[in-house]
Amino acid sequence: MLCMCLFLELPPRPELFDFHGVSMTHYFTDNWENIQNFQARPDDILIATYPKAGTTWVSYILDLLYFGQTERQRTVPIFERVPFLEVIFPPLGAGTDLADNLPTSPRLIKTHLPVQFVPRSFWQQNCRVVYVARNAKDNMVSYFHFDRMNRGQPEPGDWSNYIHRFMEGKLAWGSWYDHVNNWWKKKQSYPKMHFMFYEDLIEDTGREVDKLCSFLGLSRSDEEKKRVTGGSQFDNMKKDDMANYSTIALMDFKISHFMRKGKVGDWKNHFTVSQNEEFDEDYKKKMTDPTLRFRTEI
Ligand code: PPS
């Protein structure tokens, strides 16, 4: 009976709608005026990604690099330590308010916004931006399982249908192809952006932590960097209740975990041969910039 009541209290899944040419849900557009008027500070660090590309991992790494393993890290969930700029959701409140009220400095702020939607003040203040990208196939697999277990996301439908929605950009935050291509283009004219790949992080986390430190102008001892690299490995983050999203009631871990697999190449367990051929054919047409290359295996 109790379970039933709790179930009835959960809000219905949101619908997608076209928002200035990008598929979005109301949880990420209802606070639009405050998002667009958000006042960035010069030392803010924006962590930007298409959903499921490694946002939480890089947020966790940056949080450890700046603030270490403190009481706050052990008691405050990652989504409060690194506010999600565009979200507005009743129990959490608005990401813009969470960011405004952060007690730490610099502020680490997460966004999935396509580059054209990022509040102007981040560019005006010349903020550092860390963009994380993940190969389309694994990114889609991860997003599919996330949408299955997260009632805050639109109904995913079945896998074969989901692939087509991904190819058409009919998922929250729109087209993966537009997202990565447009952020990549932005990087060419905005030097304070560090563009990194999930696959590189998997291959050698320590090397990527080094690169992050030099981009951020941080000098950390080898020992500190080792602690960050080790502490942010998948198994550690999976069992950290402040990082694994187990405190969010909308997510049903009986269906899938937020920290699900953390691998490169899981797409091979999902795509049929013909789905893979169709996907590759379409991919070639959309990803024409030879300087932006992804690895689907390592
Ligand atoms: S979200 O909801 O957009 O913020 O999700 P995001 O954090 O971007 O992506 C979640 C996926 O990242 C994986 N992940 C990791 N992989 C390897 N190592 C570490 N430490 C790590 N932390 C998170 C997480 O498992 C999701 O990927 P999948 O493929 O679903 O496992």
Domain boundaries, the chain: 24-286
pLDDT confidence bin for 90, thresholds 50/70/90: confident
Distance CA 298, CA 292 (A): 17
**Mean pLDDT, rounded, of the chain:** 95
DSSP string over the chain: -HHHHHHHHSPPPPPPEEETTEEE-GGGTTTHHHHHT----TT-EEEEESTTSSHHHHHHHHHHHHH-S-HHHHHS-HHHHS-BTT-EETTTEEHHHHHHT--SSSPEEEE---GGGS-HHHHHTT-EEEEEE--HHHHHHHHHHHHHHBTTS-----HHHHHHHHHHT-STT--HHHHHHHHHHHHHH-TTEEEEEHHHHHH-HHHHHHHHHHHHT----HHHHHHHHHHTSHHHHHT-TTTS-TT-TTB-TTT--SS----S-GGGGT--HHHHHHHHHHHHHH---TT----S--
pLDDT for the residue 10: 74
Asked if residue 234 has its Cβ within 6 Å of ligand 1, the reply is yes
Q: Which residue has the higher pLDDT, 5 or 47?
A: 47
38 has pLDDT over 90: yes
Asked if residue 49 has its Cβ within 6 Å of ligand 1, the reply is yes
Q: Which fold has domain 24-286?
A: Rossmann fold (3.40.50)
Annotated catalytic residues are 112
Of 12, 252, 272, residue with least CA distance to 148: 252
**pLDDT tens by residue, 204-216:** 999 999 999 999 9
pLDDT for the residue 231: 96
CA of 122 from ligand 1 middle (Å) equals: 25
| Mean pLDDT lowest among 9-13, 15-19, 35-39, 72-76 | 9-13
**pLDDT tens by residue, 122-173:** 999 999 999 999 999 999 999 999 999 999 999 999 999 999 999 999 999 9
118 is written with which tokens? 């990022």
pLDDT for the residue 201: 98
pTM: 0.96
Q: Which of 145, 259, 261 to mutate to test the pocket of ligand 1 (most atoms within 8 A of CB)?
A: 259
7 has pLDDT over 90: no
Rounded mean pLDDT, 3-11: 52
Sign of the C-alpha dihedral computed for residues 112, 186, 19 and 16 taken in this order: negative
51 has pLDDT over 50: yes
Percent of the chain with pLDDT over 70: 97
Asked if residue 232 has its Cβ within 6 Å of ligand 1, the reply is yes
Tell which atom from ligand 1 comes closest to the C-alpha of 138. 29
pLDDT confidence bin for 3, thresholds 50/70/90: very low
| Mean pLDDT lowest among 19-28, 68-77, 164-173, 214-223 | 68-77
Tell which atom from ligand 1 comes closest to the C-alpha of 266. 29
pLDDT for the residue 92: 82
**pLDDT tens by residue, 233-277:** 999 999 999 999 998 989 999 999 999 999 999 999 999 999 999
Asked if residue 259 has its Cβ within 6 Å of ligand 1, the reply is yes
The torsion angles phi and psi of 193, rounded to 5 degrees, stand at -120, 135
Rg of the chain in Å (alpha carbons): 19
